Amino acid sequence: MSVRPQTLAEKILSAKCGHPARAGETVVADVDLAFAQDGTGPLAIRQIEALGLQGVARPEATIFFFDHASPSPRRELSDDHRFMRAFCMKTGADFSEVGRGICHQLVAERYARPGMLIVGGDSHTCTAGALGAFATGVGSTDVAVAMALGRTWFRVPESFKVELTGRFEKGVCAKDLILHLIGDIGAAGATYKALEFSGDLKNLDMESRLTISNMAVEAGAKAGLFPADEITLTYLKDRGGKKLSPDPGADYEKILKYDLKKIQPMVSKPHTVDNTALARDLSGIKIDQVFIGTCTNGRIGDLQIAADILAGKKAAAGVRLLVGPASRETLLEADRRGLLKIFVEAGGIILPPGCGPCVGVHQGVLGSGEVVLATQNRNFKGRMGNPEGFIYLASPATAAASALAGKITDPREVL
Amino acid sequence: MSKLSGKAWVFSDDISTDHIAPGRYFHLRSNLPELAKHVLEDAREDFAKNVQPGDFIVAGENFGLGSSREHAPTIIKLAGVSAVLAKSFARIFFRNAVNIGLPVIMLDTSGINEGHQLELDMRSGVLKNRSSGKEISFQPLSNEMMKILGDGGLVEHIKKHKEIKL
C-alpha cells in the first residue's frame, strides 16, 4: 500500500492516532508524556478532579514541574506546591522539585525521544521539537484530559518548511536566527502551523536546536520540529531513539530559506517579539539589568558563550547581571567549567535553576522605566512583573557584551 | 448560549496573556475570583471595574498571544464577558477558551466602536451591531469546537460522553 508522503507532524500524529492522518484532520491520539508546571498544574489537578477521576492514566508519563516559583516567594505559591505534591503522592505521578530546573530543559535532558507525542501545560513545550518529538503547549484543561485519559484531540497542523544552509559567523547564534525569522513572518505568521526545520543541519548542535524550537510559539506555531539525526542520537546517549525525518515529497504550505552566514545579532524591542532590529542599530540604548538564562538560553552552551565574553571583566556600573542556569545539571556543569566564578567576579548573581525573573514572579522584577536585556523568549508589557518596564530580547553573546558596556552592544564589537 | 447580547469594549492588536492575567498576580492563580479583579488590567485599567455581565471584548489581531495560562480566558469568563470577538486569535488561547466554555469568534471587528450594542448569534454566524445597524457574518466555529462549547466545555463534554467524542 502506498502512503502519501508525510510531513514530520503528520508522521508522528499518524503513528499516535493509528491511521494515516493529513493536515487539517482532527484526530484523537495517544500521548507519551503530559506535564504541567506550578503555574498551570494546580488548575490542571482541579480539572482532573472535576472530571470525577481520582488518578491519572499513566503516572510514569505524568509530571509536575516546580520551576516558575522556585523557590516560592509567597505563601499562596507554597500552598500551590503543597497541593501539587499531595496529588503526586496520591496518584503516583512524577514531580520535579524546586531546584531541579525548568520543565522544558528537563524534558530535553531526561524524557523526550524522537517520535514522541508530548503535551505540556506551558506554551514553550514546543522546545522538545528539537529532539524530533511532536511537542505542543496546551492549557490546564487540555493537559488534565491528556493526563486523565492518556490521550487527547489534535488538529493535524499544516507545516512550513524552514530550509537552513551555511553556518553562523562568530558572535552569531541560534537565538539570532529565530528572532530574525519571527521578525520576518510576525508573531502570528505561523499560527496553527508546524515549523519544520530542514536542510544542512550539521552545524546546529542540540542546544541551538532547542533554542530555535523553544521560540516556534512566538511565531504562533503549534510545534517547531527538527528531524532526528546523528546529532540527536548522540545527545540522547543511552536514552535511545531512532532517526526520524519527513518523507521526500511531503506537502508544505510554505517554504522559508535562510543562510546562517547572513544572520546578524538581532534584538526584539518592547513590547512584542516580532518587533526586531539589528543589535548594532540599537547600540547606545542604556540598560539597567541583564538576564542570561531561561528555557530559551539558559543551557551550558549559552552560559559558556556569555562567560567567554565576561571572563576577567566586570559588568558596567549600574547594571545588575543575573544568571540563571536552566537546570541543576547545567549549574553543576557551569561550576565544573569555572563559569560561576567568572559570572560572580563580573558582578553577577547566580539564580537557582528555574524560570527566574522571566515570568515576573520574583528574582529581578523591573522598576518603573527600567530597561532589561534578557535572553528569554518574551518581552510583552508586564512580562517581568512591571508594566512600566522595557524588555529587549537577545542572544547570550549580545547580553554579555551589553552587560559590559551598560548599553545594547553588538557582540562582534568585543570578540 | 446561541444568542448573546451586550456592549463592546474595544482593544488593540496583540493583547497578550500578560495583559489579561499579569505575572505579578501569579500567586492569585488558585484564587480566580480575586485574579479576575485584575483582568486585562495592563491593557485597560477601567475594564475590570466597569465591565457588565454580557459585555463583549472586541479586539484586533492575535488576541491572547503568549502563555498557555488558561487563567486568562477563565477570568474573562468570570468577569461576565459573553464572548471575545477578534480579527484573529493565538492558538492556545483559542483552544483554552473553548475548553472552558468561553465563546471566541473570529470576524472583522474594524467597524465596531467602544460602547456599541452587539447581538451575537453563534449558530447562524451573524453579529448584529445595533448601534451602527450593520450585520457582520462570520464562519461559525468548527464542528469539534461547537460540540465542546455546546456541552459547556471539555470537562463537561467528557463527563457527558465518558470519552472525547468529536
Of A48, A66, A84, A140, which to mutate for an interface test with B (greatest number of B Cβ within 10 Å)? A140
pLDDT 10s digits, A219-249? 999 999 999 999 999 999 999 999 999 999 9
Backbone angles phi, psi at A38, to 5 degrees: -75, -10
Residue closest to A296 by CA, chosen among A126, A65, A147: A126
Q: Which residues of A touch B142 (CB under 8 A)?
A: 26
Per residue in A111-126, pLDDT (tens digit) is 999 999 999 999 999 9
DSSP A276-308: EEEGGGGTT-B-SEEEEEHHHH-SHHHHHHHHH
| Alpha carbon distance A308, A204 (integer Å) | 20
Mark yes or no for CB contact B90/A192 under 8 Å: no
Phi-psi region of B165 (alpha: psi -120 to 50; beta: other; left: phi over 0): beta
A1 falls in which pLDDT band (50, 70, 90)?
Answer: very low
CA distances from A336 to A206, A300, A305, A323, A331 (A): 21, 11, 15, 16, 9
Closest Cβ–Cβ partner in B26, B42, B100 for A39: B26
Of B34, B155, B17, whose CA–CA distance to B84 is shortest? B17
**Contact assessment for residue A355 and residue A383, using Cβ atoms and an 8 Å cutoff:** no
Percent of chain A with pLDDT over 70: 100
Residues of chain A neighbouring B163 (CB-CB closer than 8 A): 149
Contacts for B45 with CB less than 8 Å, ≥ 6 apart: none
Mean pLDDT value across residues A141-164: 97
Give the pLDDT confidence score for residue B123 in this predicted structure: 84
Neighbours of A92 (CB within 10 A): 12
| pTM recorded for the entire structure | 0.97
Compute the mean pLDDT over every residue in chain A, rounded to the nearest whole number.
97
Please indicate if any CB of chain A lies within 8 Å of the CB of B88.
yes
Does the pLDDT value for residue A12 go beyond 60?
yes
Contact A5, A250 (CB under 8 A): yes
For A43-61, the pLDDT digits (tens) are 999 999 999 987 999 999 9
Neighboring chain A residues of B62 at a CB cutoff of 8 Å: 187-188, 191, 220
pLDDT at A140 over 80: yes
User: Is there a contact between A139 and B70 if contact means CB atoms under 8 Å apart?
Assistant: yes
Q: Count chain A–chain B contacts defined by CB atoms under 8 A.
A: 147
What domains are there in chain A, each with its CATH number?
8-155 (3.30.499.10), 159-262 (3.40.1060.10), 267-413 (3.30.499.10)
The answer to whether residue A217 scores a pLDDT higher than 80 is yes
- The pLDDT assigned to A3 comes to 74
Distance CA B134, CA B136 (A): 7
Chain B residues in contact with A140 (beta carbon < 8 A): 68, 70, 96
- Tell me the shortest Cα–Cα distance from B112 to chain A, in angstroms: 22
For residues A210 and A108, is the Cβ–Cβ distance under 8 A? yes
**Ranges assigned E (strand) in A148-305:** 151-155, 159-165, 194-199, 223-225, 254-259, 266-268, 276-278, 289-293
All domains of chain B in start order, with CATH: 3-138 (3.20.19.10)
Three cell numbers at A183? 521578525
Tell me, rounded to whole angstroms, the distance of Cα B148 from its chain centroid.
Answer: 15
User: What is the predicted ipTM?
Assistant: 0.96
How would you write the pLDDT of chain B (166 residues) with one tens digit per residue? 568 999 999 999 999 999 999 999 999 999 999 999 999 999 999 999 999 999 999 999 999 999 999 999 999 999 999 999 999 999 999 999 999 999 999 999 999 999 999 999 988 899 999 999 999 999 988 999 999 999 999 999 999 999 999 8
Percentage of chain A exceeding pLDDT 90: 98
Q: pLDDT tens, A326-344? A: 999 999 999 999 999 999 9
Dihedral of CA atoms B122, B127, B129, B132 in degrees, nearest 10, equals 180
Looking at beta carbons, which residues of chain A come within 8 Å of B71?
43
